[in-house]
Structures are given as structure tokens and as C-alpha cells.
């Protein structure tokens, strides 16, 4: 199943070919990025109404034919006029939804039951895990998180329990990155440690701080662990640059967490990347320039856009650059296919600057690892959700929309 939001903020679910569509409309409410529960039975989504912003949980029932059917009315699990939520991430057991909310000053990381049993204003005990900005997190288990809060010498990277209390010592001297990473088997963690100026190291080590390996990086970095193993993929400049981007940009490198061995998987200026569920393939979004072979293919451009949130460090001023989606074999480095795409503006401004956080909670890859779902602009200027195959066949539009995510 796929959850889709169109340009008007309407939510719908459908099958992988765009059929059996079911609307999940709430009058007067405009929806954001939908997040599937771990078992694929529910969708949580932020909805902005005329008076407040809430979190809605829809039950998605599947009939005997596999088609979606309309479930019961959505459950509202949080609602606020002055502390609006904007990012959702289910707990691994699917019982609760963690979310980031904009506070009068800074951000808060909150958590609430997915059944709506807690006070809707977020006033339940232990409803707030941490406050700070910026704020990124990943789940270690249903009651423990790995946090990265703040920036500079006062930043915190470490594990906390469900009440926000630190579990063990934090990691000192962190650098310019977003979410700290944790491997699937929970043996390793990854973060960035900075030296003087813009230089630093991507650090991969055991969760107890032993077996540390370092890979140099210059400026911002982004990293995500292999969902099937202990390899860490990362982007960021690998040599000093005179005018570093405020956004992670550089070759795609692969680091073995056990040995620290690093190799370049894809050269050039990679903007973002997404692991296939089986860890065999990575879909990378790579910048090119007019005059490149890929640029000459269509001449499609990535429009520059403003950062979507006050905590954003910015996105690259792409100007007249082109973007290609490149499917690369994670073991051999062989490019399976690539093509130029024009990314929808909503994707560029809202998801791309934080792709490494969304990679933890939202699924662009199909469950079978054969294709990804991207919001692209067609020749008429219309935003469409398009299934792009890793093997190179023509992309297949399935619906008008600005965001869409696969169920587990």
C-alpha cells in the first residue's frame, strides 16, 4: 500500500499501481507527510485545521483481494494551537507515536499513545522527552532513543529512556550533522566529531564507545546505516573546500562499522540517498551541471528554494543544476541505472534537507527493493508520484501528489 498526499493536502491510500484508492479526508484539514505504523495497519499524519494542528491516526483495512477499505474514523492523538507538531516517528512496537513540535522557544520531542488515550494537549506525565534545537532522534527499542540535540559545544548526543533521562554518558565534542546513527543489530553508533574550523571526522564505534574508527569529513555530513547490516553510508565533502555548503554535499562513501574500512561508492555531489530495504542497492540523488551527458538528456532543473523550517541549516543553491537519481549496487559500486529527474518543490523544501531523519521513519523504497517512489514534475508542470525502477524501465506515474510513502 501507498499513502499519498496531493497538492491540496488531501490524504488517500492506494495500491502500488494507484488503484483501489480510498480517501481519508477530514473537512477543513490539510495533511502533511503520512507515516505508516510498523505493521502497516495505520497511518499517522499531521493535519492543520483552521484553529489548530493535530495528529490523526487512520486505520487502513485490507480486504481479501488486498485492496484498502475504509476503516473507522481517525483517532486524534494530539492537538495544539501554539505548539504544532511537524514530524512523526512511530515507536518500534507501534503502540505510540513520537513527534517533534514547535515551541514558543525551540522544539520539543514528545510522545503519545496511538490510541488517543492520553490528554490531547500533551499534558500527560512524561509526554515531553526533551527540549532543544535542532533535535534529531532514532529508536533503539520501544523505550530507549538515541538523541542529537543542540549544536556546537553544548550539543548532546547520547541515549535516553522514555522519560528523557540519560542512559550512560553522552558523546562529547560533536560536529555538524543531523541524526546520530545506530546499526540494525544495535551494536554500533555513528556521529560526527569536529576539530578546529570546518574539518571533522565521521565516527563509527560500538555503543559503549569502544572500537572507534574515524573517516575525515569537511563541513556538514549525513549518514544512515544499512538496514540489513553494519555498513554506514555517508555523504559530505571528503577534501577541504573554500566555500562549504550549509547542506551535506559530496561523494557517497561506505564505511564498515567493524573494521572502519571506507570506500567511495559514488563520486560527485550527492544530495541525498536512500537504502533499499534489503541493503543491496542505494538510490542516490546526485547533482550535475548543464553540459553533462545527463543534463543534455532532458535539461531538467532543480529549483533553488528557501529552507522549510527555522532550524534548517539551508539547502544548496542549485541554480541551474540538474539532478539525477542513481541506483548503485552497495557491494560492487556498479551503477545499475540512472536518469535525470525534476523533483517536486515540496519534496525539495520539506524532505530533502532532512532526508537522513526521514529515512528512519518514512519509506520511499518499495518493500521488495525494486523501485522508489518520488514526487516529480511532468512536462506540463504537474506534480506526480512516480515509481522509478532500479532496473531502468520507464518511470510509472501512479497518482497526482506531492508526497507518498510505502507501507511496510
Q: How far, CA to CA in Å, does 19 sit from each of 8, 13, 62, 372?
A: 20, 9, 13, 18
pLDDT at residue 16 tops 80: yes
Helix or strand holding residue 166 (H, E) = none
Q: Decide if pLDDT at 352 tops 50.
A: yes
Quick one: pLDDT band at residue 392, thresholds 50, 70, 90? confident
Pairing of strands 135-141, 85-90: unpaired
Asked if residue 64 is part of any domain, the answer here is: no
The number of folded domains in the chain is: 1
**pLDDT digit string (tens) for 208-223?**
999 999 999 998 999 9
User: pLDDT-derived band of residue 244, with 50, 70 and 90 as boundaries?
Assistant: low
Strand ranges of the sheet holding 403-406, from the earlier edge strand across to the other edge: 22-23, 11-14, 2-5, 403-406
- Which three-class secondary structure state does DSSP give residue 226? coil
**Percent of the chain at pLDDT above 70?**
88
List pLDDT tens digits, range 94-108. 999 999 999 999 999
288 occurs within a structural domain: yes
Within a domain: 13: no
pLDDT at 301: 33
Q: Is 20 exposed, middle or buried (0-12, 13-18, 19+ CB in 10 A)?
A: middle
Q: How confident is the model at residue 197 (pLDDT cuts 50, 70, 90)?
A: low
Domain membership flag for residue 33: no
Tell me the pLDDT band of 309, cut-offs 50, 70 and 90: very low
Q: Which domain holds residue 364?
A: 198-398
Q: Among 354, 151, 358, which residue's Cα sits nearest to residue 248?
A: 354
* Nearest CA-CA partner of 7 in 34, 35, 28, 30: 30
More confident residue, 35 or 315: 35
The region that residue 333 occupies, defined by phi over 0 for left and psi between -120 and 50 for alpha, beta otherwise, is left
* Any domain includes 183: no
Closest CA to 317 of 269, 358, 355: 269
Q: How far apart are CA 147 and CA 158, in angstroms?
A: 6
Residue 316 lies in a domain: yes
Neighbouring CB atoms inside 10 A of 28's CB total 10
Q: Which of 108-112, 167-171, 190-194, 335-339 has the lowest mean pLDDT?
A: 167-171
CA distance 375 to 383: 6
pTM of the shown model: 0.90
Which whole number is the average pLDDT over 329-357?
A: 93
pLDDT-based confidence at residue 196 (cuts at 50, 70, 90): low
Query: Is there a domain that residue 39 lies in?
Result: no
Decide if 342 is inside a domain. Answer: yes
CA distance 281 to 366: 12
Provide the mean pLDDT of the chain. 87
Contact of 60 with 1, CB cutoff 8 Å: yes
Amino acid at each position: 500500500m501507498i499513502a499519498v498526499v496531493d497538492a491540496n493536502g488531501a490524504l488517500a491510500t492506494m495500491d502500488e499501481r494507484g488503484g483501489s484508492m480510498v480517501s481519508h479526508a477530514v473537512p477543513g484539514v490539510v495533511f502533511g507527510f503520512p507515516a505508516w505504523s510498523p505493521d502497516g495497519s495505520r497511518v499517522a499524519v499531521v493535519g492543520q485545521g483552521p484553529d489548530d494542528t493535530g495528529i490523526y491516526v487512520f486505520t487502513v483495512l485490507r480486504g481479501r483481494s488486498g485492496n484498502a477499505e475504509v476503516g473507522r474514523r481517525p483517532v486524534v492523538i494530539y492537538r495544539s494551537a501554539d505548539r504544532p507538531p511537524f514530524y512523526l516517528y512511530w515507536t518500534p512496537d507501534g503502540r505510540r507515536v513520537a513527534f517533534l513540535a514547535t515551541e514558543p522557544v525551540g522544539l520539543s520531542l514528545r510522545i503519545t499513545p496511538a490510541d488517543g488515550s492520553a490528554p490531547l494537549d500533551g499534558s500527560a506525565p512524561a509526554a515531553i522527552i526533551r527540549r532543544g534545537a535542532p533535535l534529531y532522534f532514532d529508536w533503539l527499542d520501544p523505550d530507549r532513543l538515541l538523541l542529537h540535540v543542540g549544536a556546537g559545544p553544548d550539543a548532546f548526543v547520547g541515549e535516553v529512556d522514555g522519560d528523557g533521562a540519560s542512559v550512560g554518558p553522552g558523546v562529547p565534542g560533536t560536529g555538524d550533522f543531523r541524526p546520530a546513527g545506530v546499526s540494525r543489530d544495535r551494536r554500533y553508533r555513528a556521529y560526527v566529531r569536529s576539530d578546529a574550523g570546518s574539518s571533522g571526522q565521521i565516527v563509527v564505534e560500538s555503543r559503549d564507545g569502544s572500537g572507534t574508527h574515524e573517516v575525515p569529513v569537511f563541513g556538514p555530513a549525513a549518514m544512515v546505516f544499512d538496514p540489513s547490516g553494519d555498513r554506514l553510508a555517508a555523504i559530505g565533502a571528503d577534501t577541504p573546500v573554500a566555500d562549504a555548503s550549509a547542506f551535506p554535499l559530496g561523494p557517497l562513501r561506505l564505511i564498515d562499522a567493524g573494521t572502519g574500512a571506507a570506500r567511495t561508492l559514488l563520486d560527485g555531489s550527492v544530495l541525498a540517498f536512500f537504502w533499499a530495504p534489503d541493503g543491496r542497492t542505494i538510490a542516490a540523488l546526485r547533482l550535475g551541471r548543464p553540459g553533462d551527458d545527463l543534463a543534455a538528456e532532458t535539461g531538467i532543473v532543480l529549483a533553488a528554494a528557501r529552507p522549510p523550517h527555522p532550524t534548517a541549516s539551508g539547502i544548496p543553491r542549485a541554480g541551474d543544476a540538474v539532478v539525477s537519481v542513481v541506483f548503485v549496487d552497495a557491494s560492487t559500486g556498479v551503477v545499475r541505472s540512472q536518469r535525470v529527474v525534476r523533483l517536486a518543490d515540496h519534496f525539495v523544501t520539506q524532505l530533502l534537507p532532512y532526508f537522513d531523519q526521514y529515512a528512519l521513519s518514512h519509506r520511499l523504497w518499495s518493500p521488495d527493493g525494486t523501485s522508489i517512489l518520488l514526487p516529480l514534475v511532468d512536462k506540463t508542470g504537474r506534480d506526480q508520484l512516480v515509481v522509478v525502477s532500479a532496473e531502468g524501465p520507464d518511470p510509472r506515474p501512479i497518482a497526482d501528489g506531492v508526497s507518498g510513502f510505502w507501507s511496510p
